[in-house]
């Protein structure tokens, strides 16, 4: 074999066995690409249970849902890319089990694939709403491209759309629904949208944004039941007895990491698959990346699991280099994500645990929706979010990485360049 020697360890490893990647989405496709970019010339098998070749999910709640982004734009690579790079792509194929001792994965159809090294990019799955009536037609979740197609079909002018959960899915779908002319009610269990991610100060900006666009936002509510005739949903009944009529209900109440395979195989799982800084799991020949990985982060000195696009884009490069035996492959990027809702575009860089900050500093005017918010603890910037302000993520990232104490007045002053703080 030319290229990097993958140097297998453990029983059953073999130089002629391929590297197997389970999960053919953004993370899996980027891992296959990174293996080839690193010069690895051995076999690469990318297995995914979806029938679509790897695609990106962010457009599914934004441009694609609105009909503005055409379908061919969502894919990670063109169809011929896989053959051109000698990647064996097995779509419509679920992996049912992993045998770490035998270095084998078993497919749902009973086939088997041996591996030298295994990378798990199995992502996450939406949490289901655990109330009576939730299995009726018209109750919609959003993870896959056909989910987005179903929601798009429901977003007709005048349609009554009830969204359960004011997280990223809920708010982006609410914005697309309003832009499509639908009547929208959002039902959220907590007192504000995105509360656990953004905290009270900045969450309020998103509440105001959606109210200003005519969304009926209801906070602190408990969904008791979805009403209907047993076949098709007709509304949402709350614990206080109120019923909100609905032509369709979109549920976005969070995800669970798809770590069942790993857990059944005896790998260490705790809020996702636990990995070290090289994205190696508790089995030395198995790695994990993307939504499913709860990875040790050297800067934060703890394990973190990030459910965002940039993490699924970048972690696989580190995992690929690490499993090829490159000792300097360490994942220490600072989390980054973005969202677009109506005419608000934002980027967030940093990491803050819920209640993990003691102060929020605004640079610019939150009411005008053109500002940067900084979350601080002990005078150090933990994260920053730019809203309708652009080209500032690099200096914000640098502030977060440096861990230096900054002057809050200077931080709030748009005349002070961020790079000089």
Ligand X SMILES: Cc1cc2nc3c(=O)[nH]c(=O)nc-3n(C[C@H](O)[C@H](O)[C@H](O)COP(=O)(O)OP(=O)(O)OC[C@H]3O[C@@H](n4cnc5c(N)ncnc54)[C@H](O)[C@@H]3O)c2cc1C
Task: Give the whole-angstrom CA distance, residue 298 versus residue 317.
Answer: 17
> Of 328, 330, 338, 270, whose CA–CA distance to 304 is shortest?
270
Site for ligand X in 169-208 (CB under 6 A): 169
What would the two tokens of residue 297 be? Answer: 């982060």
18 binds, among ligand NAD, ligand X, none (CB under 5 to 8 A by kind): none
- Characterise 183 by phi-psi region: left (phi > 0), alpha (psi -120 to 50), beta (else): beta
Site for ligand X in 60-119 (CB under 6 A): 60-61, 94-95
Name the segment binding ligand NAD (CB under 6 A); options: 89-97, 168-176, 259-267, 364-372: 168-176
Helix axes 168-179, 195-212, angle to 10 degrees: 10
Contacts of 344 (CB under 8 A, 6+ apart): 209, 369, 387, 388
Task: Give the whole-angstrom CA distance, residue 325 versus residue 112.
Answer: 25
- Characterise 265 by phi-psi region: left (phi > 0), alpha (psi -120 to 50), beta (else): alpha
Q: Which of 18, 42, 58, 257 binds ligand X (CB under 6 A)?
A: 58
When the beta carbons of 31 and 175 are compared against ligand NAD, the nearer one is 175
Task: Give the whole-angstrom CA distance, residue 233 versus residue 135.
Answer: 9
Is residue 166 close enough to count as binding ligand NAD by CB under 6 A? Answer: yes
123 binds, among ligand X, ligand NAD, none (CB under 5 to 8 A by kind): ligand X
What would the two tokens of residue 219 be? Answer: 């906070």
H or E segment to which residue 195 belongs: helix 195-212
| Binding pattern for the stretch 299-318 against ligand NAD, x by CB under 6 A and - elsewhere | --------xx----------
Is residue 283 close enough to count as binding ligand X by CB under 6 A? Answer: no
Contact between 89 and 79 under an 8 Å Cβ cutoff? The reply is no
Site for ligand X in 326-355 (CB under 6 A): 337-339
Alpha-carbon dihedral sign for residues 407, 408, 413, 417: positive
| Binding pattern for the stretch 256-275 against ligand X, x by CB under 6 A and - elsewhere | --x--x--------------
Task: Give the whole-angstrom CA distance, residue 213 versus residue 296.
Answer: 40
Q: Which of 91, 134, 189, 224 binds ligand NAD (CB under 6 A)?
A: 189
When the beta carbons of 4 and 294 are compared against ligand NAD, the nearer one is 294
Is residue 172 close enough to count as binding ligand NAD by CB under 6 A? Answer: yes
Complete edge-to-edge strand list for the sheet that includes strand 233-238: 223-228, 233-238, 243-245
Is residue 163 close enough to count as binding ligand NAD by CB under 6 A? Answer: no
393 binds, among ligand NAD, ligand X, none (CB under 5 to 8 A by kind): none
| Binding pattern for the stretch 50-89 against ligand NAD, x by CB under 6 A and - elsewhere | -----------x----------------------------
95 binds, among ligand X, ligand NAD, none (CB under 5 to 8 A by kind): ligand X
Q: Which of 114, 147, 188, 347 binds ligand NAD (CB under 6 A)?
A: 188
47 binds, among ligand X, ligand NAD, none (CB under 5 to 8 A by kind): ligand X
When the beta carbons of 295 and 406 are compared against ligand NAD, the nearer one is 295
Q: What is the DSSP letter of 50?
A: S
Minimum distance, C-beta of residue 145 to ligand X, in the bound complex (Å): 9
Which residue has the closest beta carbon to ligand NAD? Answer: 167
H or E segment to which residue 34 belongs: helix 26-37
What would the two tokens of residue 317 be? Answer: 């490069």
Which residue has the closest beta carbon to ligand X? Answer: 123
Task: Give the whole-angstrom CA distance, residue 167 versus residue 367.
Answer: 21
**Contact residues for ligand X (CB under 6 A)?**
22-27, 47-50, 57-58, 60-61, 94-95, 121-124, 142-143, 169, 258, 261, 290-291, 307-310, 312, 337-339
């Amino acid at each position: 074999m030319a290229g990097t020697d993958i140097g297998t360890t453990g029983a059953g490893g073999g130089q002629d066995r391929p590297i197997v990647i389970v999960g053919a989405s953004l993370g899996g496709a980027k891992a296959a690409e990174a293996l080839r970019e690193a010069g690895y010339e051995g076999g690469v098998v990318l297995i995914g249970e979806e029938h679509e070749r790897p695609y990106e999910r962010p457009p599914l709640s934004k441009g694609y849902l609105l009909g503005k982004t055409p379908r061919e734009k969502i894919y990670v690579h063109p169809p011929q890319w896989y053959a051109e790079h000698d990647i064996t792509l097995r779509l419509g194929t679920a992996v049912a089990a992993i045998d770490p001792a035998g270095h084998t994965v078993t497919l749902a159809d009973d086939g088997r694939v041996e591996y030298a090294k295994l990378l798990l990019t199995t992502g996450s799955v939406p949490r289901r709403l655990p109330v009576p009536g939730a299995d009726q037609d018209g109750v919609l979740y959003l993870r896959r491209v056909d989910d987005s197609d179903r929601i798009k079909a429901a977003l007709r002018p005048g349609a009554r759309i009830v969204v359960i959960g004011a997280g990223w899915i809920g708010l982006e779908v609410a914005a697309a629904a309003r832009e499509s002319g639908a009547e929208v009610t959002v039902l959220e269990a907590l007192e504000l949208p995105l509360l656990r991610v953004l905290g009270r100060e900045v969450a309020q900006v998103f509440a105001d944004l959606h109210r200003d666009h005519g969304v009926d936002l209801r906070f602190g509510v408990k969904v008791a039941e979805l009403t209907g005739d047993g076949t098709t949903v007709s509304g949402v009944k709350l614990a206080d007895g109120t019923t909100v009529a609905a032509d369709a209900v979109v549920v976005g109440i969070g995800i669970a990491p798809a770590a069942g395979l790993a857990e059944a195989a005896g790998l260490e799982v705790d809020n996702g698959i636990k990995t070290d800084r090289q994205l190696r799991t508790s089995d030395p020949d198995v790695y994990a990346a993307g939504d499913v990985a709860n990875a040790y982060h050297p800067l934060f000195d703890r394990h973190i699991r990030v459910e965002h696009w940039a993490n699924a884009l970048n972690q696989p490069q580190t995992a690929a280099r690490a499993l090829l035996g490159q000792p300097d492959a360490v994942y220490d990027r600072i989390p980054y994500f973005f969202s677009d809702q109506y005419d608000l575009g934002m980027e967030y860089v940093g990491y803050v645990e819920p209640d993990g900050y003691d102060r929020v500093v605004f640079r610019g005017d939150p009411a005008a929706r053109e500002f940067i918010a900084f979350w601080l603890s002990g005078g150090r910037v933990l994260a920053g979010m730019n809203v309708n302000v652009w080209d500032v993520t690099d200096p914000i990232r640098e502030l977060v990485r440096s861990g230096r104490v900054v002057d809050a007045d200077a931080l709030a002053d748009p005349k002070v360049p961020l790079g000089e703080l």
